[in-house]
């Protein structure tokens, strides 16, 4: 039997999402069989290897189904067949007959999944498969449960006895899966030859005597913590609590640094120098506008003047850097303690449905503090496709801390339900846009294959070094980009181009979105600073419904200039323009839908 390619179901032609047609690697498609007894965690191993990209088909001429998925590793493409669970290759029912036929067909590698807590029972099928002369590797699964039972297995002795590599795994959490994938190239034929049923059981007895010890063992607090934090329900609740606590910590640390350290430094030492420079220059002159920006009520304002030496330095150093420091401190603690990989595993299923994998929760979480580090953090994602989707989602539907503060300030007086409408709309946009991009963009998201480390106490020296390298990278990359962006926008304003754009958009805002023409200016200003633009809506006397539409559109349209420049740096000019087109389309669509909703409500 020939197995069709995932997605295209075509044995001759391959679809764009099939690894066999991956333009970046024309390598031959190899077939891996996943074999094991029922209830050994084989399906969990399959999911870890292939993500959510799997199809289920009936074996020809039967009602028995098998599942097929894809894996790409180190330039090699694999199709993985999850063989129906069976206890033996001496079939007693139709499912075991199908399993026997699949196993006996040609394959490149067989992964034999064993339950570490029931090794003796599992070894019978394993020996039968090895006797066929297949290139094999063993995934010794559920070693955590075996350890809890007091069962210790000598991995090296088991490898020697079976004659093939043995990798301990915990498929539920993903522990050991990365090592399993890395060792696929070591799969080999066993020295075990065909034997009688009686001799096979004697061999199993000898293997157990050589490799397994059992003793009574109590669960430790660490054991219970590891179990809870990867549990589908309790682990998810624990993960949500960690995200909320992390977000709160980032906000408090970031705002504390701004309010009590950096703002006073700039106000006390930097502002007097810049004001002295301003008095020595013509306030209406070109160089004053370029270097210091516009005077606000007769004085320089770091947030609104928009000069290279005012806003150009203030935004990255005072408004962004503290959140960078705060977030990377929290992130490093989560990484070094061993929890971050567990968080990624818990969110992997949701993120895969958006075309991402579990680690995408990190950039999205960081984007709630500031979109700039959020987009920079998309580098943890493996493929350009994932980085494009994540960066676009952050820019469209993840409001930064400054914007969130202004959302509450602008809508809070109208009632909590209007604030909830804004966040609800952004959440819907995040999910819907992610699903749409995942469906339309060619390719597929790589599966999440990570090693789950044990919990450990973070090293202060390690935390300090990691934090320094990350902050240094931000300073080197972001500050020049922000300064360049401020320069470009200044030139647009000084030449009058920005005012022309604002005037052209006024009729559209009035007719399509039901907004007064005066809202066009603040939304265009959102290109510079979204939170300031929201503040400019307050004197316009908008209705609550108009304010919701305007704030949602402002949140979804052009990111602030710092984010805009980082998008250009991370995605390139072409993909950045695609991303901006998606932002505009999404903002107009959701703005129009909100208008219809309010008209019909």
Is residue 100 pLDDT above 70, yes or no?
yes
Give me the mean pLDDT over the 558-572 stretch.
79
Residue 25: per-residue pLDDT: 43
Q: Distance between CA atoms of 7 and 30, rounded to whole angstroms?
A: 17
pLDDT digits (tens, 9 = 90+) for 36-80: 988 788 878 888 888 655 565 666 765 466 788 888 888 889 999
Q: Distance between CA atoms of 103 and 97, rounded to whole angstroms?
A: 10
Task: Choose the weakest-confidence range: 79-83, 216-220, 221-225, 385-389.
Answer: 216-220
Residue 15: per-residue pLDDT: 44
Burial code (b: 16+ CB inside 10 Å, e: under 16) for 416-430 equals eebbebbeebbeebb
Residue 7: per-residue pLDDT: 42
Residue 210: per-residue pLDDT: 93
Query: What confidence tier does 272 reach under pLDDT thresholds 50, 70, 90?
Result: very high
pLDDT digits (tens, 9 = 90+) for 288-318: 888 998 888 888 988 777 788 987 888 778 8
Is residue 555 pLDDT above 80, yes or no?
yes
pLDDT digits (tens, 9 = 90+) for 149-182: 788 999 999 999 999 999 999 887 788 998 999 9
Is residue 486 pLDDT above 80, yes or no?
no
Highest mean pLDDT among 42-46, 172-176, 395-399, 474-478: 395-399
Residue 26: per-residue pLDDT: 46
Side-chain-facing half-sphere of 339: CA atoms under 13 Å: 22
Hey, how many other C-beta atoms are within 10 angstroms of the C-beta on 252?
11
Residue 24: per-residue pLDDT: 43
Q: Distance between CA atoms of 45 and 166, rounded to whole angstroms?
A: 14
Could you tell me what percent of the chain has a pLDDT over 70? 83
Give me the mean pLDDT over the 247-276 stretch.
89
Give me the mean pLDDT over the 21-30 stretch.
57
């Amino acid at each position: 039997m020939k197995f069709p390619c995932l997605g295209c179901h075509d044995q001759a032609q391959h679809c764009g999402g099939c690894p066999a047609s991956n333009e970046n690697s024309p390598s031959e498609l190899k077939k891996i069989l996943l074999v094991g007894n029922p209830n050994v965690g084989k399906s969990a191993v399959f999911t870890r290897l292939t993500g959510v990209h799997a199809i289920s088909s009936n074996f020809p001429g039967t009602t028995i189904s098998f599942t097929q998925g894809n894996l790409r590793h180190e330039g090699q493409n694999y199709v993985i067949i999850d063989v129906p669970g069976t206890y033996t290759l001496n079939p007693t029912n139709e499912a075991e007959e199908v399993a026997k036929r699949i196993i006996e067909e040609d394959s490149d590698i067989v992964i034999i999944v064993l339950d570490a807590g029931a090794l003796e029972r599992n070894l019978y099928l394993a020996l039968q498969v090895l006797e066929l002369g297949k290139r094999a590797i063993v995934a010794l699964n559920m070693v955590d449960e075996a350890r809890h039972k007091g069962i210790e297995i000598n991995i090296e002795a088991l490898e020697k006895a079976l004659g093939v590599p043995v990798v301990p795994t915990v498929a539920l959490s993903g522990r050991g899966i990365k090592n399993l994938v890395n060792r696929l190239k070591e799969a080999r034929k066993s020295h075990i030859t065909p034997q009688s049923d009686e001799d096979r059981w004697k061999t199993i007895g000898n293997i157990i005597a050589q490799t397994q010890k059992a003793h009574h063992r109590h669960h430790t607090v660490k054991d219970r913590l590891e179990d809870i934090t990867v549990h589908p329900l309790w682990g998810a609740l624990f993960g949500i609590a960690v995200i909320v606590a992390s977000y709160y910590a980032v906000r408090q640390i970031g705002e504390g640094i701004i309010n009590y350290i950096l703002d006073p430094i700039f106000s006390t030492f930097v502002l007097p120098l810049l004001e002295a420079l301003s008095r020595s220059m013509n306030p209406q002159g070109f160089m004053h506008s370029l270097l210091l920006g516009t005077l606000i009520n007769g004085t320089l304002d770091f947030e609104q003047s928009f000069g290279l030496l005012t806003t150009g330095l203030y935004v990255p150093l005072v408004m962004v850097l503290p959140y960078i420091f705060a977030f990377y401190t929290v992130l490093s603690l989560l990484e070094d303690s061993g929890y971050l990989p567990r968080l990624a595993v818990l969110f992997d299923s949701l993120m895969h449905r958006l075309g991402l994998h579990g680690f995408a929760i990190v950039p999205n979480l960081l984007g709630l503090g500031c979109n700039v580090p959020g987009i920079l953090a998309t580098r943890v994602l493996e493929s350009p496709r994932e980085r494009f989707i994540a960066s676009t989602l952050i820019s469209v539907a993840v409001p930064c801390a400054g914007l969130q503060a202004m959302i509450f300030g602008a809508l809070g007086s109208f009632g909590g339900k209007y604030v909830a409408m804004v966040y609800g709309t952004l959440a819907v946009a995040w999910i819907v846009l992610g699903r749409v991009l995942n469906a339309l963009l060619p390719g597929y998201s790589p599966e999440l294959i990570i090693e789950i480390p044990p919990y450990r106490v973070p090293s202060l020296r390690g935390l300090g070094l990691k934090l320094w390298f990350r902050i240094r990278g931000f300073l080197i990359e972001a500050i020049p980009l922000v300064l360049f962006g401020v320069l470009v926008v200044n030139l647009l304003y000084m030449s009058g181009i920005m005012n022309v754009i604002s005037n052209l958009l006024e009729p559209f805002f009035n007719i399509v979105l039901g907004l007064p023409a005066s809202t066009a200016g603040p939304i265009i200003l959102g290109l510079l600073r979204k939170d300031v633009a929201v503040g400019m809506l307050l004197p316009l006397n908008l209705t609550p419904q108009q304010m919701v539409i305007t704030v949602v559109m402002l949140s979804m349209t052009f990111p602030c200039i710092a984010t805009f420049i980082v998008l250009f740096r991370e995605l390139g000019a072409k993909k950045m323009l695609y991303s901006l087109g998606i932002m505009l389309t999404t903002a107009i669509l959701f703005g129009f839908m909100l208008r219809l909703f309010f008209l019909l409500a």
